[in-house]
Amino acid sequence: MNEQYGRYTVITGASAGIGAAAARAFAARGHSLVLIARRTARLETLRDEIHAAYPSLDIIIKTVDLSVTNSVLQVYDEVKDLPIGTWINNAGFGSYGTIGAQDLSKIRQMIHLNIETLTILSNLFVRDFADAEGAQLINISSVGGYLIVPSVVTYCATKFYVSAFTEGLAHELAARGAKLRAKLLAPAATQTEFGAVANDNPAYDYDKAFGTYHTSAQMAEFLLALYDSDAVLGIVDRETLAFRLCAGQLPYAGGSARNQKVSD
């Protein structure tokens, strides 16, 4: 089991779903928290709930729209001097619809949040915490980051990016002997607000849409199993819903003689 380097776990998208469940799960492990999302009231309710159960923990909430780059940079600056052990880039959303018939404003925001914000925050955390003993960066991808799912191709493409970026980062960190570990979680259908947001349907029903799915609390348990492991990837099998921990799954050209020679 990994020793936690610092006292704080930062979770983006902590006001609902997997992020809120992860907050409860990491608090139960004794981690203080920085919880980031747009809905202040949700964050306050979660903070008060966790604080009542674990009064010794420090629970910091940050109301931030992470699709605004300046706000992303600002919130990182506000928290970077805390003793952070784990950073979880969880904030993200999906959008159903065929290409050509999509709401361009929505998919631009999705690409910005799922790709650009995750990349910026990952870069900043690696810059500052690469040599921190026990530090972990966990990015939330999806089984849709390893498999193209019909009617949700653009979202899957954003998650393919998350998978490639994070697996590549894990290779880079290992190659340079960094202490920081980069990992990623790839959930399948999980009952959260994801379905309502992705389909613009507040009455979205996971029983009708999928029949079987995980709860966000189950996904948080998988996240803890990934955190405790030396695996790079924790992925759910979309057909059986079985969870497994494994090495990265994407092809990697490390060690190839065809790679660019680096000149001094």
- Return residues touching ligand NAP (CB under 6 A): 13-19, 37-39, 42, 64-67, 90-94, 113, 140, 142, 187, 189-190, 192-194, 197
Nearest residue (CB) to ligand NAP, 38 versus 51: 38
Instruction: State how far the Cα of 96 lies from the Cα of 131, in Å rounded to an integer.
Output: 40
Instruction: State how far the Cα of 233 lies from the Cα of 244, in Å rounded to an integer.
Output: 8
260 burial via Cβ count (<10 Å: 0-12, 13-18, 19+): exposed
Nearest residue (CB) to ligand NAP, 94 versus 248: 94
In 3D, which of 229, 23, 16, 242 has the Cα closest to residue 143? 242
From the CB of 221, what's the least distance to ligand NAP, in Å? 14
Nearest residue (CB) to ligand NAP, 123 versus 212: 212
For ligand NAP, the nearest residue by Cβ is: 17
Nearest residue (CB) to ligand NAP, 77 versus 131: 77
Nearest residue (CB) to ligand NAP, 91 versus 126: 91
From the CB of 196, what's the least distance to ligand NAP, in Å? 7
Secondary structure of 46-58 in HEC code, one letter for each residue: HHHHHHHHCCCCC
From the CB of 99, what's the least distance to ligand NAP, in Å? 18
Check residue 33 and report its DSSP letter: E
How many C-alpha atoms does 63 have within 13 Å on its Cβ side? 7
From the CB of 212, what's the least distance to ligand NAP, in Å? 12
In 3D, which of 84, 54, 62 has the Cα closest to residue 15? 62
From the CB of 260, what's the least distance to ligand NAP, in Å? 32
